[in-house]
Chains A and B, each alone.
Chain A
Amino acid sequence: MITNKKILIAGVGGQGIVYLTNIIVETAMLSDIPVSVSEIHGLSQRGGIVTAGIGLGKYCTGFTGKANIDFLFGLEPLETQRCLPWLHKNSSVIFGDYRISPYAVNAQTAAYPDVISFAEYLGEQCKEVVFIKNFPENIDPILYNIFLLGRATRMKDFPFSVKKIEEAIQNTVTEYQLEKTYSAFREGMEFNSVIQPV
């Protein structure tokens, strides 16, 4: 049994962060891993930052702290970058270049950070980093969360089995969305065109 692992999912309201969290929590429960979650979503529906921390194991909460996140899902690059304080040398990170400009960038009072150089830096610092520069065109951006989950299953420290995730998707997703979700998950699993800086 895997214990003492913290997963963080970071992104912007509307990207399906809580949705992804639910699937991971369901997977943990199906795998008999104690799980708890802490979500921070100030006005998530209104374009704010959303993060969800998932603690796996006994006395492991979803609260983030300095260098205590082992596995980071970045649904949006800027919000991935904002999570740097929580990462450590053994962290695994998966994120994609799907940018949602905050107002300050739209209003030209701030620049969007350079995603490529950030990805390269992260690759040097963390244990395993998967950076998806271009999502396949046939994937609806709303399913990038599931796509990332699929690709994450091939990472060294990913804590769950594919079988349990598929079961969790079955339990969590409405029938109407099921086929699309599976297909995004499988495409993610098979996706190869990535920049792996390390």
Chain B
Amino acid sequence: MASVPVFNPAAPADAIEMTKQAFKLSAEIKLPMIVRTTTRVSHSRGIISYKNIQDENRSPRFERMPEHINIPARTAAAHTRLLDKLKHKSVLELLSMNSKIILNGSKAKLGIISSGVATSYLNEILYQNNISEKVNLLDLGMIHPFPEKEVLSFLKNDFQKILVLEELDPFVENAVRTLAQKNKIENEIIGKGFSGLTTTGEFSIDIITRTLGDFLQVTLNNRKNIPIENSESFLQSLPPRLPTLCAGCPHRATFYLLKLAIPREQSELILCGDIGCFGLGALPPLKMIDTINHMGMSISMAQGIYESFNSSQSSKKVVALVGDGTFFHSGLSSLINAVYTRANILVVIFDNRTIGMTGHQSHPGASQHLPKYQEIDIPPLLKGLGIEVVEIIIPFNLRDGFEKLNKAMAHKGVSVVIAKGPCIFLPDFKEKIDERMKIVVDENLCNACANHENISLACSRCYSPKNNLSRAKAKLFAEVSIPGEEQLCPANICNHGFFNSILEGDYKSAVEIVRDKMLFAQTCGDICHRPCELFSTREKVVPIKALKKLVSFMDENFYDFSLPISRVKNAVNKNKSVAIIGAGPAGLSAAYDLVQAGYDVTVFEKEKKAGGMITYAIPDFRMDKAGFDFEAMQLKEMGVTFHFNSSLGKDFTIEKLSGEFDSVILAIGLSKSKTLDVIENNIPVEKRTDALSFLKSFYLKENKIKNGANILVIGGGNSAIDAARAAKKLNSKNKIIVSCIETENTMPAFAEEVKPAAEEGIDIIHDSYIESISAVKEGKFNIVLHSFSNKKHLQNLKFDYFITAIGQTTEPLIIEILPKDENTRVRSTNGFTGYKNVFVAGDIKSGNNMSVIGAIASGKKAAVSVRQHLENYPFEYEGAKALEWLNENSTVHVRQVNTVTTNNLREEIEQFNLYQACMKCNHCIDNFGCPAMIKINGKVEIDESRCTLCGLCIDVCPNNAIRWEQ
């Protein structure tokens, strides 16, 4: 007890009386005093009277005396003088005055010695239960020096038992036991350990009630009240209410910055915290503190952790977080030691210009007593210590703060970041606030889905605070910000969710997001012509296709189809059947959507394999055929029935199917190649073919062109280039020339296909057509090429073989019954042909873009039309906007491809922010947690009564849903 008198008040009235006594005694015996107020006493209020407080006017004086110099030779004598003071007459008088004995005569055989707040509990229980007369009491108001005389006189009453009640250590109890032993008093003394009394934590009414009952061997309940019944179920799982940093607190901004700069999940970084308001950063949602111990310990702890890890090879930076008040109080000496030992630590000083937690007091770095006191500026102080990296950040400036934090993290040695922003209770904070403004949330952008009108549709984007943190980071630091609506997919794949999953490193979810909407993740990664990238006119766009290829070619993602299969299992069976004619990308896509919606789906295909043009017309050097076969055949696993080798017109008719099924989707493609008279009339049939037949025989390895042939391919589309490249692959000595009427910039073939063709030695003669053909010897033919634009002669060439690739058309006879356009493609309204229950999709549908993604999208759209027809499905096709764009812009030239590899992946994609509203966002609540943000019915709202208009949430929201309003 430091050999000073200790007063131990039990209630506010004691506290004021004892404080007065302590001051008086202190002056008298020239010693400091302790008035020991514990938490419960400090947080109590009661009626007190100040009475007369004497204001003594003393003038300071100092006398030179040997007693002021406590060198070792004099300490023993000083110690004696100190102990003598405790025997002073005034001390003894106060000991007696503050020890209150209440004896209740012969009936009461039990004694209780209590001190501090325990006395208040005891008095209340004795009085309220009307049992005061059953015990004798000694209340000790002073516990040091120990009031031996008073305690001894109490003990000498020969009680059966004596109970000692005091919080924490058995200080009184041990002193009583010692006293009893010295005086040969053998009555039983009980205290800690009795009736569950412990040396930790606080006492309470309930604890003392129990103990007193045990001591008196009676059952006590509080004032004989009958407790209410069955409250357990109402008390179970009540949500906790943890304290949180105030709305507008600069510390929250600093923690948010730390979250952005130091992703905790990805690193083993240790953050040592300290005492103060900002210690709340240890609690959810911030959770950016790993240790809090004694005041100022953050820095010494970080230094110590660094030292211990440093000796075992790893020398990772450790972070110390300290408030400005604590920094001056006890952080500075630790910091000096950290600099001295060259510890590799980052110290973040949370400088809110006050000591917030205890009521906004001054400290040497932020004085409210200028000019009486001098304020100390932290940066020159730190520079003076030789710390090289000292950065000042304004926590509300996220971009600047992020950069400086990263710089400080990268520095080896002690670096310091001072996060300087005034506490919201200081005038400095309020001065910056424009109270005419308010902050509002646009509910259309907050927790809304920009992709889906029907939000019950599958969404595989993981809801994860971490994932949303990456989105928020992208918003702040990406060079290119693109609204999601600029990179839409005609198949309505959520490109936003897809991209952000990859940004987060969650490639599996990315593949699942594709598969939420479409079967062909890998195939589209190979051959889609990327309308999602063409849709935007920006210089740089997110390379969706390349990313799709990257993630879908990872085996562990690709071969796991369990999620779509489980969706079929969980779907409510609609008890409706749909026949799909044609197993190309359109038919299969319709089947994929319908089977997941609970329909019975049967697919009829004239070939022996699924895929249509993808299987038979796109050569294997452009795509992974095995991957496609796997994808297509997942439909069987999902419960789709296939009838192969089954042709329309031969094996069945549209009329027949429309009678047998609830709906029919016609998706047979354009299987008949267009012909060119000049070829038909001049070249014998064995010397010519069309691109589709040629590519099919290439796929089936049934080609019979002799090696070293000169081959002319006629056409400027992808089939022409595919056929040319396939012909070159057959034999490298084959000489291939492509003649097309279009220029380099207008030819419909994808630039990314034309380029490798040129590299493989294939010549393309643009703006040309065959003016005439004449046979020459040895089966060769002489071709005269003219310019298409000015009809002038270009050149004469000799060829052995001819492939025409000028497009496809329908076989009108088998679809006689349906309405057709001028190109004999089937007309429809939203996919409905107008005939009975027959719908149309894919290349055969009038006006539909002839591409893989165009076919897929039209298949999906037909599936929606079928659902509207059969089940009153209330939604329109959700990819309509992108599909419309695609159909109207069929000749847009394809840009050069961006390749993305795992080597440069992060660098490539971190430059982008592809943003839009998302249902699976809870970012501001999860990672920021301002108490002024409340979630009501799934949307965040700003509680104006709590909002301090700091405005940081506007930067935090990854959806741009929050803004200022006048």
Interface residues, chain A, CB within 8 Å of chain B? 4, 12-14, 25, 29, 34-49, 55, 58-68, 78-79, 81-82, 84-85, 87-91, 101-113, 118, 121, 125-126, 141-142
Contacts and interface: CB of A to CB of B under 8 A. Distances in A.
A50 B228 CA distance: 23
Interface in B34-48: 40, 43-47
Contacts of B945: 141-142
B239 interface: yes
Nearest to A62: B44
Contacts of B931: 46-47, 103
B934 A59 contact: no
Nearest to B122: A59
Interface in B542-567: none
B40 A13 contact: no
A76 B123 CA distance: 32
Interface of B: 11-12, 40, 43-47, 120-121, 123-124, 126-128, 204-206, 209, 221-223, 225-231, 234-235, 237-246, 277, 280, 284-285, 357, 922, 925-926, 929, 931, 933-935, 945-946
Contacts of A63: 40, 120-121, 124, 204-205
A110 B43 CA distance: 31
Given A40-B43, A59-B128, A101-B935, A66 B227 contact: yes
Nearest to B237: A110
A35 B240 CA distance: 31
A47 B243 contact: yes
Nearest to A89: B226
B124 A64 contact: no
A126 B12 CA distance: 33
B241 A78 contact: yes
A33 B294 CA distance: 43
Contacts of A111: 239
Contacts of A44: 243
B44 A88 contact: no
B45 A42 contact: no
Given A85-B235, A89-B225, A107-B922, A65 B209 contact: yes
Contacts of B45: 25, 36-39, 62
Contacts of B241: 12, 47-49, 78-79, 102-104
A43 B128 contact: no
Nearest to A28: B47
A122 B229 CA distance: 10
B242 A103 contact: yes
B244 to A, nearest CB: 5
A180 B206 CA distance: 40
A44 B231 CA distance: 27
Contact of A65 (B204, B237, B925): B204
A46 B280 CA distance: 9
Contacts of B245: 46
A113 B889 CA distance: 55
B222 A65 contact: yes
B127 A58 contact: yes
B205 A36 contact: no
A87 B231 CA distance: 10
B234 A81 contact: yes
A6 to B, nearest CB: 9
B286 to A, nearest CB: 10
18 contacts: A36-B12, A39-B44, A46-B277, A55-B124, A61-B11, A63-B40, A63-B205, A65-B209, A68-B205, A88-B225, A103-B284, A103-B285, A103-B931, A106-B935, A107-B929, A110-B237, A110-B239, A113-B234
Given A45-B246, A121-B234, A61 B239 contact: no
Contacts of A78: 238-239, 241
B239 A37 contact: no
Contacts of A12: 241
Most buried by A among B45, B127, B237, B357: B45
B47 A29 contact: yes
Given A66-B209, A103-B242, 13 more contacts: A39-B43, A40-B43, A45-B246, A46-B931, A47-B241, A67-B226, A78-B239, A87-B228, A101-B934, A104-B242, A105-B239, A106-B933, A107-B929
A90 B922 contact: no
A60 B934 contact: no
Contact of A118 (B40, B120, B234, B929): B234
A59 B124 contact: yes
Contact of A61 (B44, B226, B234): B44
Contact of A106 (B47, B221, B934, B946): B934
Nearest to A65: B205
A17 to B, nearest CB: 13
Contact of B123 (A13, A59, A102): A59
Contacts of A118: 234
10 cross-chain pairs, A with B, having the tightest CB-CB distances, nearest first = A65-B205, A43-B243, A48-B243, A110-B239, A88-B225, A59-B127, A102-B241, A125-B228, A36-B46, A37-B45
Most buried by A among B204, B226, B242: B242
A81 B11 CA distance: 29
A105 B77 CA distance: 65
A198 B123 CA distance: 36
Given A13-B243, A58-B127, A108-B922, A37 B227 contact: no
A89 B124 contact: no
A81 B922 CA distance: 28
Given A36-B44, A45-B246, A125 B934 contact: no
Given A64-B205, A84-B235, A46 B225 contact: no
B555 to A, nearest CB: 35
Contacts of B124: 55, 59-61, 63
B231 A42 contact: no
Nearest to B203: A63
B243 A38 contact: no
Contact of A38 (B44, B235, B284): B44
A20 B238 CA distance: 25
A89 B475 CA distance: 57
Contacts of B243: 13, 42-44, 46-48
A135 B136 CA distance: 52
A39 to B, nearest CB: 5
Nearest to A14: B946
A160 B126 CA distance: 26
B925 A35 contact: no
A41 B40 CA distance: 11
A56 to B, nearest CB: 12
